[in-house]
Amino acid sequence: MNEQKIDPKKVRGAILQEYARCKKDPAYFMRKYCSIQHPQRGRIPFELYPFQEKVLNIFRDNNNIITLKSRQLGISTLAAGYAMWLMLFHDNKNVLALATTQLTARNLVNKVQFMYEHLPSWLRLKAVEKNRLSLRLSNGSKVTAKSSNSDAARSEAVSLLLIDEAGFIDNIEETYVAAQQTLATGGQCMALSTPNGIGNWFHQTWQKAELGENSFTPVKLPWSVHPERTEAWRKLQDRDLGPKMAAQECDCDFLSSGDTVLDPEVLTWYETSSTVQPIEVRGIDRNLWIWKHRDPMKSYMVVADVARGDGQDFSTYHIFDVEGAEQVAEYKGKLSPKEFGNVLVGIASEYNDALLVVENANIGWATIEQIMEREYRNLYYSSSSDQETVQSYMAKYERDKLTPGFTNSAKVRPLLVAKMMEYVHEKSVKIYSERLLKEMRVFIWKNGKPQAQVGYNDDLVMAFAIGLYVRDTALQMRQQGMDLTRAQLSSITNLNKKNNSVIQVGFQQSNPYLIDNGSGHVEDISWLLK
């Protein structure tokens, strides 16, 4: 019996043909030649699901990809396979795998190494360097595992920056900025993660990618893309993880993730059931939103938070209908402290000489001084003692124990937040502003303290919290026979009174935005709000 001879030329031709097909099609390469480590079954072929193949092609065809994913979809393994394909079929490719810890990043490199070790001999290039943190091939391509820090991507040109669980890396902004120089020559960036709260780099980058405002291609992979996942499986996740965690881990729900101060479900209710467009937009900067004009029969509060003056935050105020616990107007903009003081006097006068509550921290004093120079008669005063409670303040009401403005101390701030949480969670305050609710979304617990996510502001939120706190104070005082808007404040109009050359305001004028500068010249400042 004659044995059939193998033609070396045909073998070489077949190998070259197969090599060319693998180089062109990473999905074909992975299905046919890549192995993965199954926790129960050991080494098995990497049999791609249709959705994984689609994602892989997106990896191949796009420069920057951000992937918002459900748990247990094999996307990290898919990214490892893509890294293997990139290194094997392209010379001098430098893949950098970043994660929250070096161990996590190393796990991804281990997946690459496992695939490499089980490639057929004709396809496997020689490894010139191989250890727990890196693999370097004879064609100059390599993969390296590092924990994320600002220096991780600085040292050398990166062909592929692979960021695993990007939503959980605290300093990812610095790392990504540092990587820009190394990626400038055409390198890829792939950011993968389940959601982890809103306001962080991953969330911001995802939002901008959806709007087409950056170079990232957004890929969203909820649990339902997996052909073997059913509604019954999803219900089990609610039982095992809890509804909030399941919404994050399975549904790719940013709004249910993270440590937000205010319940995301309640904020969603406000967004869908309560917000409306303002009936009027005013101001030189078009930042005064009005939902309801003044009612002459109602009492109002104007509650203001003054910008620190560093250019990073905003001066804000809300106008509340006191009795109805209703937001009727809102401002968020950047005016000078003096301009802001004049605007506050004007708008407070317009709304029935509203109680004017201005936080007196930092540059707030400059705004309060302007208000006092105009002798506005309904300015809020607070206790000069940091130890005073609302009850003790009411019981010991004396002029010499009061200071102009609202004092937001370390003791008071938790009370403000608690009061706001009570009102919002019980849905007992009417909120119309989308702008305010967006700030509430990124108002989080960090190291046990309520504050805005990095890169965001809480100016509207804190002014709103102060307003609700003061409203409760006013109602308590009324119950005890004291009128916060009149009786309390009429006796202190002479406090810190200025000399006779001060700017004065005539409260009986039809236009509250006319001021007398003391030299007989009347200035109209209504341009600030028209």
What are the pLDDT digits (tens) for 314-373? Answer: 899 999 999 899 999 999 998 889 999 999 999 999 999 999 999 988 788 899 999 999
Q: Is the pLDDT of residue 492 over 90?
A: no
Retrieve residue 510's tokens: 């039809």
- Tens-digit pLDDT profile for residues 246-305: 888 999 988 655 678 998 889 989 999 999 999 999 987 789 999 999 999 999 999 999
Buried b (16+ CB within 10 A) or exposed e, 464-485: bbbbbbbbebbeebbeeeeebb
For the cut 50, the answer to whether the pLDDT of residue 468 exceeds it is yes
* Residue 392 clears pLDDT 50, i.e. is over it: no
Class of residue 186 by CB neighbours under 10 A (exposed 0-12, middle 13-18, buried 19+)? exposed
CB 518 within 8 A of CB 503: yes
CA atoms within 13 A on the CB side of 7: 4
Three-state DSSP class for 317?
Answer: strand
Confidence (pLDDT) at 506: 30
Per DSSP, which regions of 271-362 are E strands?
Answer: 280-282, 288-290, 300-305, 315-321, 326-333, 355-358
Q: Which long-range contacts (CB under 8 A, 24 or more apart) does 316-321 make?
A: 316/459, 316/460, 316/463, 317/344, 317/347, 317/463, 318/436, 318/460, 318/463, 318/464, 318/467, 319/347, 319/351, 319/354, 320/467, 320/471, 321/292, 321/295
Radius of gyration of the chain (CA): 31
pLDDT digits (tens, 9 = 90+) for 90-119: 999 999 998 888 788 888 899 999 999 999
Q: Are 92 and 140 in contact (CB under 8 A)?
A: yes
At a CB cut-off of 8 Å and minimum separation 6, what does 484 contact? 355, 470, 473, 474, 477, 478
Predicted confidence at residue 511, as pLDDT, reads: 60
pLDDT digits (tens, 9 = 90+) for 41-96: 889 999 999 999 999 999 999 999 999 999 889 999 999 999 999 999 999 999 99
Give the phi and the psi of residue 134 in degrees, each rounded to 5: -155, 160
Q: How far is CA 331 from CA 282, 320, 433, 457, 463, in A?
A: 9, 12, 10, 14, 10
pLDDT at 171: 76
Residue among 417, 411, 427, 430 nearest 461 (CA) = 417
* Cα distances (angstroms) measured from residue 226 to each of 34, 164, 229: 20, 20, 6
| Cβ(316)–Cβ(332) below 8 Å | yes
Other beta carbons within 10 Å of 258: 22
Backbone torsions φ then ψ of 273, nearest 5 degrees: -115, -15
Give the residue from 199, 171, 197, 164 showing the smallest Cα distance to 65.
164
What CA–CA distance (Å, rounded) separates 8 from 276?
76
Contact 306, 338 (CB under 8 A): no
pLDDT averaged over every residue in the chain:
83
58/217 Cα distance (integer angstroms): 9
Report pLDDT for 361: 82
SS in 3 state form for 42-106? EEEECCCCHHHHHHHHHHHHCCEEEEEECCCCCHHHHHHHHHHHHHHHCCCCEEEEEECCHHHHH
Q: Domains, the chain, ranges and CATH?
A: 13-228 (3.40.50.300), 264-501 (3.30.420.240)
User: pTM for the whole thing?
Assistant: 0.60
**Residue in 170, 152, 143, 176 with CA at minimum distance from that of residue 66:** 176
Percent of the chain whose pLDDT exceeds 70: 81
Residue type, 80: A
pLDDT per residue as tens digits for the range 226-257: 999 999 999 999 888 888 788 889 999 886 55
Instruction: Choose the weakest-confidence range: 14-23, 136-145, 148-157, 308-317.
Output: 148-157
Greatest Cα pair distance in the chain: 124
Reference 192, options 225, 217, 224, 158; nearest CA is 217
Burial of residue 109, with CB atoms counted within 10 A of its CB: 0-12 exposed, 13-18 middle, 19 or more buried:
buried
Q: How is residue 347 written in tokens?
A: 């708008």
Indicate if the pLDDT at residue 158 is higher than 70.
yes
What pLDDT is attached to residue 178? 78
Cα separation, 366 vs 379, whole angstroms:
14
Average pLDDT over residues 449-469: 89
Q: Which of 424, 380, 430, 386 is nearest to 406 (CA)?
A: 380
List pLDDT tens digits, range 113-147: 999 999 999 899 999 999 988 999 999 999 998 87
In the structure encoding, which two tokens stand for residue 433, read together? 């502003």
pLDDT given for residue 291 in this prediction: 98
